[in-house]
Structure 1
Amino acid sequence: MALTHRLHTTTRLALPRSEVFDFFSDAENLERITPPELDFEITTPRPIQIGEGALIDYRLGLFGVRFGWRTEIVRWEPPYRFIDQQVRGPYRRWHHTHSFVETDGPGGVATRMDDEVLWELPLSPAGELAYPLVRAQLARIFGYRQRAIRELLGGA
């Protein structure tokens, strides 16, 4: 039986929730917030209409290995949240919830964006040997993502 792991990050932005959600409604922005060394590329023909049931295909590289990844938007609740999950890719399970909560910030309205990923490694139980490496890589990727989002949208 595979172990379910959890990654959670919070990013605060000095913008209204609707503007932050709009940024994430454009799938092409995913390329802008992914570390360049992953050589991330969306392969789905554009423009991509994001909504429940949308399938998005990617190519990326990790540790010198190129692979494909397909995710599906399984929940779409603008401007509050959306959930994507892996249909095909490197994980046994990947379930990513993006939540957007409007808050009061120092200069007025702000948004707290939470990313929660529930993930399982393949080839359990032997696959768990890779957990420390994968966990560190995910923390680095999501750290880069937070910095890029703040740079592109303005952080609080």
Structure 2
Amino acid sequence: MERFEVSGTVNRPVEQVWAAHEDVHLLERISPPIPAIELINPPSHCQAGARFTVRLKMFPPFVQTDWQVEIVRWDPPRCFVDRQVTGPFLSWEHTHQFSPLTDDTTLIVESIRFELNPLIDGTLVRAALDYIFQWRLRNLVQVLSA
């Protein structure tokens, strides 16, 4: 089982950071252009048991894959966990943690445990995850500042 983790701070209260994550469409707004994502049949709101499909559009644009995820844990305003139901990984569990450092500063920790098909290079996947999650963190700061 592989592990990946990225963390960063945002100058916003934990309640505001959590509120942004309650919007299922936040993922579309903060993700990089490649791989582009589209939410298919998203739930009206996030909660434990909610399922939705993320369509990943790779490069070149005609290469895409659907990834169904389920929110398996929902603990406002501190943590939620999504798990792959079907998709590109053999297994995937993503924990989002939010910890107040001060009244106006929140630490975000994104922890992922995943298992790859043995034919896929883990080094490339880890580099892609680092790119995607660093991009998302930068964009989250912009979204929360708007």
Q: Kindly indicate whether residue 14 of structure 2 is the aligned counterpart of residue 17 of structure 1.
A: yes
* Alpha carbons of structure 1 residues 109 and 39: separation in structure 2 relative to 1, 3 Å: closer
Identify unmatched segments of 5+ residues in structure 1.
none
Question: Does the CA-based 8 Å contact 2:49-2:71 persist in structure 1?
Answer: yes
SS of corresponding position for 1:76: strand
Query: What letter matches 2:135 in structure 1?
Result: Y
The Cα shift of 1:143 comes to 1.2
> Which residue does 2:137 correspond to in 1?
146
Q: For residues 50-79 of structure 1, what are the alpha-carbon distances to aligned partners after superposition, in whole Å with 9 as ceiling and x for unaligned? A: 110000112112343201011000000000
| Structure label with greater radius of gyration | 1
Matching residue within 65, 70, 73 for 1:72: 70
**Structure 1: which 4+ aligned runs deviate by more than 3 Å?**
none
Matching residue within 82, 85, 96 for 1:84: 82
> Which residue does 2:99 correspond to in 1?
101
CA RMSD of aligned residues (A): 1.4
Question: Does the CA-based 8 Å contact 1:72-1:84 persist in structure 2?
Answer: yes
Q: 2-side partners of 1:69 and 1:82: how far apart?
A: 18
Q: 2-side partners of 1:54 and 1:18: how far apart?
A: 21
The Cα shift of 1:109 comes to 2.3
> Which residue does 2:124 correspond to in 1?
133
Q: Kindly indicate whether residue 5 of structure 2 is the aligned counterpart of residue 33 of structure 1.
A: no
Q: 1-side partners of 2:133 and 2:44: how far apart?
A: 23
Query: What letter matches 1:67 in structure 2?
Result: T
Question: Does the CA-based 8 Å contact 2:34-2:59 persist in structure 1?
Answer: no
Identify unmatched segments of 5+ residues in structure 2.
none
SS of corresponding position for 2:23: coil
Q: Kindly indicate whether residue 45 of structure 2 is the aligned counterpart of residue 49 of structure 1.
A: yes
**TM-score of the superposed pair, with normalisation by structure 2:** 0.92
Query: What letter matches 1:5 in structure 2?
Result: E
Q: 2-side partners of 1:20 and 1:116: how far apart?
A: 17
**TM-score of the superposed pair, with normalisation by structure 1:** 0.86
Quote the sequence identity (%): 36
